[in-house]
Amino acid sequence: MRGKTFVYGQINGNTNKSYVMADSGGVAWKMVAQMNTRYEDIADNEMCFYLQCDALKKGRNWSCECSAYFRIVSQKCDGAETGTDEIHFSNIFDTSEYHFNYCITFAKLMDENNGLWDKSEDKVTLAIDLMVKEAKTEKTEQN
């Protein structure tokens, strides 16, 4: 699966959202958006996005090589160059490590100069491009 775009809205500190993504690489994936409000100053708090695979249902010898790009898409409509925030990761997921998270502070996310947050719609658009190699399960010897 490549280029699936998710829209997360209602940034208010009380909402967590989960979006189920289609099966890719023989395993189901989902994106979770969650507030991290551990700091007193709201600007220091974070919006966190988690990409998770359903590895726990695959058995303990399952693994999957994955590469993904997280992008917070600019909301500016004037065609100007903007500070779209992007991170890339590549990993081998298994039952002990089956998610990746990306967090951005509210100060950066809601800064009107970078255009990441659409104030009128109160939303952030997150694009995840997910590239998954075929998942595999290693057979173990029985004694």
Domains by residue range for the chain, with CATH: 4-135 (2.60.210.10)
Sign (positive/negative) of CA torsion 24, 64, 69, 98?
Answer: positive
pLDDT, tens digit, 9 for 90 and up, residues 34-48: 777 777 776 678 888
- Residues paired with residue 131 on neighbouring β-strands, in sequence order: 67
b or e along 13-43 (b: 16 or more beta carbons within 10 Å of the residue's beta carbon)? eeeeeeeebeebbebbbebbbbbeeeeeeee
What's the chain's average pLDDT?
Answer: 68
Please check whether residue 112 is in contact with residue 82, taking contact to mean a CB–CB distance below 8 angstroms.
Answer: no
Q: If you average pLDDT over residues 74-89, what whole number do you get? A: 58
Quick: pLDDT tens for 127-143.
Answer: 777 777 766 666 655 54
Q: Report d(CA 23, CA 18) in Å as an integer.
A: 15
Q: 65-77 as b/e, with b when 16 or more CB fall inside 10 Å?
A: ebebebbbbbbbe
Specify the pLDDT at position 128: 74
